[in-house]
Structure 1
Amino acid sequence: MPLFFLIPLFTGLATGYFSKKCTDEIAYLTGLFTVISLILSLVLAPWQIQFVLLIFVIISSNRLLQE
C-alpha cells in the first residue's frame, strides 16, 4: 500500500498546529492550507482507508441521529 497520502496529511497537521499559535491574518492562510492538504490526503488515500472512514462516518451519524 503506497503511503504517499501521509505527506500532505502531516503537512496539514503541522500547519494547523502553527496556525493555532499565530494570531495574525497569516493564521487564516495556514488554516486554508491545512484544509486543502487534508482533503488532498483523503483523495490520495488507498480505498481501504477511505472505506474505514466511510464506515466510521455512517456509524457516528446514525448515533447522532438517534439522539
Structure 2
Amino acid sequence: MPLFFLIPLCTALITAYLFKKGTDEIAYLAAMFTAISLILTLVLAPWQIQLGLLIIVFLITNKLLQKNESKQ
C-alpha cells in the first residue's frame, strides 16, 4: 500500500499547528492550506482507508439523525 497520502497529511498537521499559534493573517493562509492538504490526503488515500472513513461517517450521521428524531 503506497503511503504517499501521508505527506499532505503531515503538512496539514504542521500548518494546523501554525494556525493555532498564529494570530496574524498568515494564520488564515495556513488554515486554507490545511483544508487543501486534507482534501488532497483524502484523494490520495488508498481505497481501504477511504472506505473505512466512509463507514465511520455513515455511522456518525445515522446516530445524529436518530438523536435529532428523538428530540422532536
Same fold (TM over 0.5): yes
Instruction: Give the structure 1 partner of residue 53 of structure 2.
Output: 53
Shift of 1:61: 0.2
Runs of 4+ that moved beyond 2 A: none
Instruction: Give the structure 2 partner of residue 42 of structure 1.
Output: 42
User: What is the distance in 1 between the residues matched to 2:43 and 2:13?
Assistant: 16
User: What is the distance in 1 between the residues matched to 2:39 and 2:13?
Assistant: 12
Q: Which has the larger radius of gyration?
A: 2
Q: Secondary structure at the match of 1:35?
A: helix
Structure 2 unaligned regions, length at least 5:
68-72
Equivalent residue letter for 2:64: L
User: What is the distance in 2 between the residues matched to 1:30 and 1:60?
Assistant: 28
Structure 1 unaligned regions, length at least 5:
none
- The percent identity for this pair of structures is 69
TM-score, normalised via structure 2 length: 0.92
User: What is the distance in 1 between the residues matched to 2:29 and 2:18?
Assistant: 11
User: What is the distance in 2 between the residues matched to 1:35 and 1:11?
Assistant: 11
Equivalent residue letter for 1:55: I
Give the RMSD, CA atoms, in angstroms: 0.3
Shift of 1:36: 0.1
Q: Secondary structure at the match of 1:23?
A: coil
Shift of 1:42: 0.4
TM-score, normalised via structure 1 length: 0.99
